[in-house]
Structure 1
Amino acid sequence: MRRYESLRRKIFGGDNVVNLSDVRYLPRWIILVIDIIILVISLFLSSYIIEKISQKEFIYHDDKSTVFAAIVLTNVVFMYIFKTYAGIIRHSTFIDLFKLLVSCFCTMFVIGTINIIYFWITGGKFILTPYLILYFIVSFMGLFLFRLYVKEFFHIVREYRRSTLKKRILVLGIDEQSIAIARAILDNPSLPYHVVGFLTQRTDSKRASLLGKPIYAKEKIEKNTKEELVIDGVIIVKEMMSKDEMNSWVNLFLEKDLSVFKAPSVQKLRDSDLGGSIRNLQIEDLLNRKPIKIESEEVTSRYFNKNILVTGGAGSIGSEIVRQVAQFNPSLIVVLDQAETPLYDIELEMKEKFPHIRFKFVLSDVSNKHRVEPLFQAYNFSMVYHAAAYKHVPLVEENPHEGILVNVLGSKIIATLSSKYKVNRFVMVSTDKAVNPTNVMGASKRAAELFVQSLQNVEGNTTKFITTRFGNVLGSNGSVIPHFKKQIEAGGPVTITHPEIVRYFMTIPEACELVLQAGTMGKGGEIFVFDMGEPVKILDLANRMIKLSGFEPNIDIKIIYTGLRPGEKLYEELLSDDAKTLPTHNEKIMISKDPTMEFLEIDSLVNMITRASLKKDKVEVVRILKIIVPEFRSNNSVYEVLDK
């Protein structure tokens, strides 16, 4: 009786709301009593039908009650034998239905046999045979419908309860992909979503329905509020839309304060992990562009069975280069980085994902020549990807000597060793901040570019020196997007340095695919510039991220302006004022024809700035850097005095 205690408390304890799903199941004896009542009703219903059809008595025996009692008793005996009342009705299965059928058939067979024996003994029947057949049909249908109605009733109650707790959503689109996603959600009751309809831009589907759900036109969303529509959000399949289409829809949804969820394509859909695959749309999904397909055959020949070195291999860009290069089955990948924990993380990941590839993980600073040169001596590298660098503008602005030692001296050491040990190709990862730099970090990368380019024409050099230059990458360490996410999760405020600040964005995999592609097409001495798409206003980015998180900008989450940081500028550039671009066979990659320096000149200047860095003379470091990079003009920095 303990299982009814909570129900009793609800009834007599003042809580008049009884949740039917709290009732686990009825006792077996109650089910049996209900079944007997159904049998008695079936007896009378069958007799009524027979009398109306045949216009004569269906029972020859004088005592109808005795015959009825015998039939019901026989039926109950077989119900007991087959335990038709023992199952939980709301969970009835085909086996339960089969038990009912067998018990009713056995009852008809036994009563029919007794009827025949009675005929042999007395010469007459006590009941019509058609009546037995009709009773068999009516009683079975009655018992079956009782269970069906109870099962359906609890299903409706359960679905109603779930739908009140679930997010009411529309599925964007009426194509096969959208229908497949909707069907998968409807077939999986454990998901926290309740599909209430479909949404389309078409206007000829207003009276149509899919999967029993209505189809709404875009104008219905435009003309009604969230409350009038009685929906919480929309699920989209990102792969089915262009970037412009998705932005248009998302702008509408955010304007209507609707949550936006992203579902996988049908090709990626697996029922087992559908719940984990549906997630809130992220800002990266809106900024991301179509994936770039690199020319794998040409790239494969550069890496297959070759030894590859990746400096900064534990960083955002470096680690993705390692992942992509590993797919081409090189003989060895040496991953070098000075960050211990990230290096250990990438080691665990690579050994799990690529157990057949040989890796060597080296904890070292690129400016330590005595640690790095033995690697060149031992492994005969075919390609070197130089991604090691200090990149945080404010930190390098505050510590210019450290920035020079890694970004300039480190690049010099790796590049000269590549030339000395006849590495086929050296690819340096640079940044758009190297163009008309306004901070030490950008200027140090430009100085590194100049040194690397100068090595191309040194007598005896056989290495092809290639530089790649691109802007911000989504999700990289220290990127603005993860920073905003943390601020939003903490309840705000979201901090922006300036309301007009603009940046280019590219995904990490896209950037690294282009780096690999540029590394194969370079003839030596080029600076490859990537198509970064349209620039993004950081204020717009923050507003959309806040809305995608379900909040209202400047109401739920405040946006405050902190002022430009030292060395920061409003607009990043990919080309210098004097640069011209040349196209390549890849429309996403261009060649920037920037001014160059002779090796002896840049080498002398690099030696000077290295000595100043070792002395930790910040002002002298920046002064020499401005000589190396004459277009370097400090902005919002203590070093502005050097420009006067």
Structure 2
Amino acid sequence: MQTKLRDFLLSLSRPQKIAVMLMADAIALPASLIAAFYLRLGDAGILQRYGISAPIIMALAAIPIFYLCGLYRNVVRYMDISMLRSTGFGLAVLAIGTYIACVLFNVPPPPRSTLLIYWFIAFSYVVTSRFGARHILRTPLRKHIVAPRVAIYGAGEAGFQLAVAMRTSHAYTPICFFDDDKRLANKHVGGLKVYALSRLSDIVRKYEVQQVILAIPSASPERRRTIVNHLSTLGIPVRTLPTMAEMVEGKVLESTIREVQVEDLLGRKPVPPRRDLFSKCVTGKSVLVTGAGGSIGSELCRQIESQKPTQLVLLDHSEYALYAIEHELRERFPATVLVAYMGNVCDNELVCRIVREHRVNTIYHAAAYKHVPLVENNMVAGIRNNVMGTWSVALAAAQNNVDTCVLVSTDKAVRPPNVMGASKRCAELIFQAFALRPNNRTVFSMVRFGNVLGSSGSVVPLFRNQIRRGGPMTVTHADVTRYFMLIPEAAQLVIQAGAMARGGEVFVLDMGEPVRIIDLARTMIQLSGLTEKGPGSPNGHIEIKVIGLRPGEKLYEELLIGGDTMASDHPRILCSREHYLTLGQLEPLLEALHTACRSGSSQAVRTALQKLVPEYTPYSLLSDRPATPMASEPATIPSREDRDASSAPSYKQNVVVGHPA
């Protein structure tokens, strides 16, 4: 019967549904007034004095008030308490207005208590009819939904709102709360019992809880990591509400629940940018981003656009990547002048023409080949892109007096055992050498950071795919550790470094403690509600295999070559001054490297690289531990005044080292 009534009501058009509500109200509201008289006086004597017209007039007066309150415009299935609040206020206005009108027009007013009783009966009718209809229209839908049984961790305001939203949407079935506040133990919040953490395992098993959802948006990363590590031992998925920074207007909805991300567990708060530094080299400037379609380059473009540059110039060799970021930026920032070029940074003529025609003020050089094994097996292509491309960008910046030029570097440039890291150290040396040129007008600087979560080829997407396939998860070594940061953090670091630079510095982020990759793999298995398969647990779900270090891979990454570090204008960003080469020293070494690349000999390329980067030790000669620092102290970069007065070799504009033949 209920299903037939629901189907009938849903089949009606919107005007027909309003007509049904009007007819029901036209019958119920006069009956409410008659009932009020009977309850007040015990008979219909006084009602006979007014006649049947009084209840009809009251009903006709109530209907337009309901319309003004929005009762007939509101969809019954999604009606909430705010609509009933306004309807109750409208009925009160009607009752008071009726009494005042009777007094003003010398009509014997009904007893005041009768009007109060009428308000209660009429309001009770509205609540019962609307919420009853909502129940009929929505309850049958639940039969088609297998809603997971969830426990909510956190019985505060966010947890309460989440429980209410769950009951409304039926996408989840809330079972109980857990909270570490002992004062809430065994109390009820939103109709759900609150349990102490000591009963966590028992309650999850007893009520067959399928998921735990964290409702603690204000918790610190350290606290969040501790809680998730504790919950992950239950063997069920753990999900979370966004942090306070991610939530909009403080509203908690079921749809905001998301998977616990690995970045929630790194135990380090994201480093916020300083707004004055963030805008200095971007706002009102013409900005060029090389490698604009990559993970870092595309985020750089988004961050730059938010600071209102006069124009943003994109350069990338990948057609699809360039199309994707250009399309996104044009939709999100239609007011900014945007120009996209498809080409290679090794094309010095193209880069110079772009810088000259668009009068570029700031360059962020993010174009690079970054995957260690690929570059190791394709070292000529990697060196041409990472080294010769950097020379091309630096040369274009210097020739056109660009204000700021920032190189995106990597921690793999520190004592590199691989060609990729050595090529990025060469790129740093190029920027340092250009910064040392006498009468140099361009501020060259470098930004060095570790692994970026979510970037193409990073470990987290790899692990997710391996878990989806049922494993195994591959780890190169049980002791491998890495520093991690978020993509927005990386882009903000690059932009701020350009603002703080004086020339030739290497900027690094204080990234906290490194993370063991095997611990990261185990955490991701647990967060997926699965267990690790191994000798001690043969019935587990996902196996972790140690496959051995790849060619050129290090156990431990470092961020600094020497110990000469100092504070910068940002409290979480360090500035390092490291050994350098002048252009006169660097150019013949780059020419020798270019010659080695043209010869096609891997040994010749490695030998030329070692002359450029003495700390480069090919992986075949490395032990597991990183090499000891160079014995010589890193040279200190002189001030701009000292450079101008120095006898550094003159700049050879006619030599374009490494331009592809």
Length-normalised TM-score, structure 2? 0.73
Map 1:14-93 → 2, pairs under 5 A: 23-25=3-5
Closer/same/farther in 2, CA of residues 154 and 310 from structure 1, 3 Å limit: closer
Match of 1:212 in 2: 191
3-state SS of 1:224 partner: helix
Equivalent residue runs for 1:221-236 within 5 Å: 221=200, 224=202, 226-236=204-214
Report the more deviating stretch, 275-284 or 353-362.
275-284
The aligned counterpart of 1:565 is 550
Partner of 1:175: 156
| 2:354 aligned partner | 375
The Cα of 1:269 is off from its aligned counterpart by: 5.0
Shift of 1:447: 1.1
Matched, 1:627 2:555: no
Instruction: Give the distance between the partners of 1:254 and 1:633, measured in 2 at CA.
Output: 41
Distance 1:107 1:27, change over 3 A: farther
Q: Which amino acid aligns with 1:567?
A: G
Deviations 1:280-314 (A, max 9, x none): 21223223743333222343242222111111111
After TM superposition, give the deviation of residue 270 of structure 1 in Å: 8.2
Residue equivalent to 2:227: 249
Match of 1:317 among 282, 291, 296: 296
My pick for the range that moved more, 609-618 or 540-549, is 609-618
RMSD: 3.7
- 1:242/1:105 Cα in 2 relative to 1: closer, same or farther (>3 Å)? closer
Deviation at 1:219, TM superposition (A): 1.4
- Name the CA shift for 1:638/1:367 in 2 (closer, same or farther; >3 Å): farther
1:524–1:152 distance in 2 versus 1, CA, 3 Å: same
Report what 1:513 is aligned to: 492
Q: Aligned equivalents of 2:306 and 2:146: distance in 1?
A: 45
Kept in 2: contact 1:584–1:591 (CA 8 A): yes
Contact preservation (8 Å) 1:236, 1:263: yes
Q: Which amino acid in the other structure matches residue 505 of structure 1? A: F
Aligned to 2:425: 446
SS of 2:406's equivalent?
Answer: strand
What is the 5 A alignment of 1:121-270?
158=139, 165-186=146-167, 188-189=168-169, 191-221=170-200, 224=202, 226-237=204-215, 239-264=217-242, 268-269=247-248
Matched to 1:457, the amino acid is L
Q: Secondary structure at the match of 1:385?
A: strand
CA contact (8 A) 2:281 2:404 kept: no
SS in 2 for 1:24: helix
Q: Which residue does 2:337 correspond to in 1?
A: 358
Question: Displacement of 1:177 after TM fit?
Answer: 2.8
Q: What code does the residue aligned with 1:469 have?
A: R
Q: Which amino acid aligns with 2:224?
A: M
Q: Residue 94 of structure 1: CA displacement?
A: 8.9
Is it true that 1:284 corresponds to 2:263 in the alignment? yes
Distance 1:616 1:181, change over 3 A: same
Q: CA deviation at 1:165?
A: 2.6
Asked whether the equivalents of residues 169 and 195 of structure 1 are also in contact (C-alpha less than 8 Å), the reply is yes
How many residues are matched?
Answer: 531
Aligned identity (percent) is 35
Match of 1:606 among 590, 595, 599: 590
Preserved contact between residue 579 and residue 595 of structure 1 (Cα < 8 Å): no
CA distance in 2, matches of 1:169, 1:26: 29
Tell me if structure 1 keeps the 8 A contact 2:445–2:504. yes
Superposed, 1:380-395 pairs within 5 Å as 380-395=359-374
Kindly provide the CA deviation profile for residues 456-477 of structure 1, in whole angstroms up to 9, marking residues without a partner as x.
1212311111011010000001
Deviation at 1:363, TM superposition (A): 0.7
**What is the aligned partner in structure 2 of residue 593 from structure 1?**
577
Give the residue type in structure 1 aligned to 2:271.
I
Query: By how many angstroms is 1:169 displaced?
Result: 1.9
Q: Cα distance 1:227–1:379, how it changes in 2: closer, same or farther (>3 A)?
A: same
Distance between the aligned counterparts of 2:287 and 2:129, measured in 1?
A: 67
1:559 is matched by which residue type in structure 2? I
* Structure 2 SS opposite 1:240: coil
Q: Kindly state the Cα deviation for residue 180 of structure 1 after the two structures are TM-superposed.
A: 2.5
Where 2:235 maps in the other structure, the secondary structure is coil
Q: Distance in 1 between matches of 2:129 and 2:179?
A: 37
Note closer, same or farther for the CA distance 1:244–1:620 as it changes in structure 2 (3 Å cut): same
Q: Which amino acid aligns with 1:167?
A: P
Q: By how many angstroms is 1:105 displaced?
A: 8.4
Are 2:418 and 2:553, in contact at CA under 8 Å, matched by a contact in 1?
yes
After superposition, the Cα gap between the structure-2 partners of 1:154 and 1:467, relative to the gap in structure 1 and judged at 3 Å, is: closer
Match of 1:268, SS state, is: coil
What secondary structure sits across from 2:184 in the alignment? Answer: coil
The answer on whether the counterparts of 1:317 and 1:476 sit within 8 Å (CA) in structure 2 is yes
Does the C-alpha gap of structure 1 residues 433 and 94 become closer, same or farther in structure 2, counting only changes over 3 Å? farther
| Bigger Cα displacement from structure 2, 281-290 vs 369-378 | 281-290
Pair 1:531 & 2:531 matched: no
Query: Quick check: 393-402 or 263-272, which moved more?
Result: 263-272
Structure 2 residue runs of 5 or longer lacking an equivalent are 9-15, 38-42, 49-117, 534-539, 628-661
8 Å contact from structure 1 (residues 203, 217) kept in 2: yes
CA contact (8 A) 2:471 2:543 kept: yes
Unaligned stretches of 5+ in structure 1?
Answer: 1-19, 29-86, 117-136
1:574 aligns with 2:559: yes
Measured after TM superposition, the shift of residue 351 of structure 1 is 0.2
Partner of 2:323: 344
Partners of 1:504 and 1:351 lie apart in 2 by 34
| SS of alignment partner, residue 455 of structure 1 | helix
Choose 1 or 2 for highest CA Rg. 1
Please say which of residues 533-542 and 267-276 is displaced more in the overlay: 267-276
The structural deviation recorded for 1:174 is: 2.8
- With over 3 angstroms needed to count, the CA separation of the structure-2 counterparts of 1:256 and 1:445, relative to structure 1, is same
In the TM superposition, what is the alpha-carbon distance from 1:167 to its structure 2 partner?
1.8
In the alignment, is the contact (CA less than 8 A) between 1:288 and 1:506 conserved in 2? no
Structure 1 residue 634 displacement after superposition:
1.6
Deviating more after overlay: 414-423 vs 202-211: 202-211
Q: 2:153·2:216 contact (CA, 8 Å) conserved in 1?
A: no
**How far, CA to CA, are the matches of 2:393 and 2:270 in structure 1?**
31
Q: Distance in 1 between matches of 2:337 and 2:6?
A: 64
User: d(CA) in 1 for partners of 2:623 and 2:555?
Assistant: 18
List per-residue Cα deviations over 1:560-598 (Å, max 9, x = no partner): 12211100011111112x332112232211112221112
In structure 2, what is the Cα distance between the partners aligned to 1:185 and 1:629?
Answer: 59
Relative to structure 1, the CA distance from residue 255 to residue 156 in structure 2 (aligned partners, 3 Å threshold; closer, same or farther) is farther
- Whether contact under 8 Å (1:399, 1:618) holds in the other structure is no
1:438 CA drift (Å): 0.8
Note if contact 2:175-2:192 (Cα within 8 Å) is conserved in structure 1: yes
Contact 2:281/2:495 (8 A) holds in 1: no
Whichever residue aligns with residue 630 of structure 1, its letter is P
* Whole-angstrom CA distance in 1 between matches of 2:482 and 2:243: 30
Is 1:237–1:265's contact at 8 Å kept on the other side of the alignment?
no
